[in-house]
């Protein structure tokens, strides 16, 4: 028998210490998506792959992808204890989990702070455009989907620009206009750009080298840095995985997108209005009168600026009942919509595995 095994691959930074002091390590874990949902997140069903405080995340991901490719080509032979026979497993990556910044890096995307801030589609624009009426409306409409092929072409174009004069500004504009930034090859690109600046620099009694000579030197330097590999082999390996679209197969991270995003900032604004109206004590009293298993009114009101995801998850479901005559109607409507969003998001999260498998 041959069985397909879809893998959920997680990569993010974690603390290497047991103590609270932060000691940054990047780690990769895997889970078997064939497992029943109640087993999927149990500790003994999550396989540790690798961790390092020194290796860059995409270097680790490249090694992991190479390992999966080799295992897929030859198959993994093991023993089926249920049917008592030898079987072969075929592995493939189902989707990558992690937080938004890490998933953006896996997509060769510059992240949430660039003009085109989405790793999945080309929504966005310049600051001026997004602040205009039409630009603001366009943010809420899906843009043209990003593709691995398009990302790879943009990375190749950035390498071509690095061999020309004014490379630094050209690449800066390229990242701003496309949102594409490949961390796998960024050190190579930066080295070539810096060398180009030195070669083109003029000094007293020193004449700048001709552009053709500079380009030849930079091409040789790029070849040395790639160590015999081509640009195709050096760029993000996840862009070339057959049957896997890294832009579509990086699931939305709910914690930072919703709880520490929309809910956190709406909570901050609501607390500001309550304090301004001197009604925070009334709010705390009402909060203290409801179920206390997951909500500690004293803690939440005292540390209102330092709450975490579990607090916002609970608050979002009870806020409309606590502020219904304390804050303006538009704020109440906002919390009602947030409560509906939280319920929808968690139902969606529960069904994520089934959606991917289908």
pLDDT per residue as tens digits for the range 269-319: 999 999 999 999 999 999 988 866 667 888 899 999 888 888 898 899 899
The mean pLDDT value for 77-96 works out to 93
Q: Does the structure show a pLDDT above 70 at 251?
A: yes
pTM score, whole prediction: 0.77
pLDDT at 352: 47
Contact assessment for residue 222 and residue 188, using Cβ atoms and an 8 Å cutoff: yes
d(CA 34, CA 325): 49
pLDDT over threshold 60, residue 349: no
Distance of alpha carbon 301 from alpha carbon 283, whole angstroms: 9
Residue 24 has pLDDT above 90, yes or no: no
Average pLDDT value for residue range 149-156: 91
**pLDDT surpasses 50 at 144:** yes
As a whole number of angstroms, the distance between CA 322 and CA 283 comes to 7
Average pLDDT over residues 110-121: 88
Please state, in angstroms and rounded to a whole number, the distance separating the CA atoms of residues 72 and 61.
Answer: 16
Mean pLDDT for the stretch of residues 80-103: 91
Q: Is the pLDDT of residue 354 over 60?
A: no
Residue 164 has pLDDT above 80, yes or no: yes
- Whole-number pLDDT of residue 355: 41
Average pLDDT for 229-252: 87
Note the pLDDT of residue 4.
93
Q: Which of 279-295 are b and which e, b meaning 16 or more Cβ less than 10 Å from the residue's Cβ?
A: bbeebbebbeeeeeeeb
Contact 250, 107 (CB under 8 A): yes
Long-range interactions of 217-226: CB distance < 8 A, separation 24+: 218/162, 218/163, 218/192, 219/163, 221/191, 221/192, 221/195, 222/159, 222/162, 222/163, 222/188, 222/192, 225/188, 225/191, 225/192, 226/188
Mean pLDDT of 149-177: 88
Q: Worst-scoring range by mean pLDDT, 14-23, 119-128, 135-144, 239-248?
A: 14-23
Whether pLDDT at 264 is above 80: yes
Q: Is the distance from CB of 138 to CB of 151 less than 8 angstroms?
A: no
pLDDT tier at 172, thresholds 50, 70, 90: confident
Predicted local distance difference test score (pLDDT) of residue 10: 92
pLDDT-based confidence at residue 85 (cuts at 50, 70, 90): very high
Nearest to 180 by CA among 245, 94, 239, 128: 239
> For residue 96, what pLDDT is reported?
92
Each residue of 307-339: pLDDT tens digit?
888 889 889 989 999 998 999 999 999 999 999
**What is the arithmetic mean of pLDDT over 139-164?**
89
- Residue 356: what pLDDT? 40
pLDDT tens-place string over residues 198-224: 877 765 555 666 777 778 888 888 888
């Amino acid at each position: 028998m041959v069985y397909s095994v879809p893998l959920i691959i997680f990569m993010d930074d974690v603390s290497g210490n047991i103590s609270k002091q932060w000691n940054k390590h990047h780690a990769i874990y895997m889970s078997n998506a064939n497992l029943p949902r109640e087993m999927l997140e149990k500790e003994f069903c999550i396989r540790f792959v690798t961790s390092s405080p020194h290796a860059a995340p995409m270097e680790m991901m490249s090694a992991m992808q190479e390992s999966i490719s080799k295992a897929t080509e030859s198959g993994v032979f093991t023993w089926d204890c249920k049917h008592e026979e030898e079987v072969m497993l075929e592995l493939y990556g189902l989707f990558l989990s992690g937080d938004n910044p890490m998933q953006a890096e896996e997509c060769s995307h510059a992240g949430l702070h660039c003009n085109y801030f989405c790793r999945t589609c080309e929504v966005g624009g310049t600051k001026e455009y997004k602040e205009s009426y039409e630009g603001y409306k366009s943010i809420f409409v899906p843009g043209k989907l990003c593709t691995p092929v398009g990302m790879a072409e943009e990375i190749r174009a950035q390498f071509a620009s690095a061999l020309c004069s004014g490379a630094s500004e050209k690449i800066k504009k390229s990242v701003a206009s496309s949102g594409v930034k490949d961390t796998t090859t960024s050190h190579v690109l930066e080295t070539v750009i810096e060398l180009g600046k030195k070669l083109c620099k003029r000094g007293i009694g020193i004449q700048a080298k001709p552009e053709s000579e500079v380009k030849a030197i930079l091409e040789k330097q790029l070849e040395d840095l790639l160590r015999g590999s081509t640009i195709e082999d050096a760029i993000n390996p996840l862009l070339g995985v057959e049957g896997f679209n890294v832009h579509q197969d990086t699931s939305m991270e709910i914690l930072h997108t919703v709880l520490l995003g929309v809910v956190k900032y709406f909570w901050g604004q609501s607390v500001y209005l309550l304090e301004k109206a001197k009604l925070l004590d009334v709010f705390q009293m009402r909060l203290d009168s409801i179920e206390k298993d997951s909500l500690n009114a004293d803690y939440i009101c005292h540390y209102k600026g330092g709450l975490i995801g579990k607090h916002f998850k609970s608050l979002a479901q009870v806020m409309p009942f606590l502020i219904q005559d304390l804050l303006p109607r538009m704020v109440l409507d906002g919390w009602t919509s947030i409560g509906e969003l939280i319920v929808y998001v968690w139902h969606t999260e529960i069904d994520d595995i089934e959606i991917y498998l289908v």
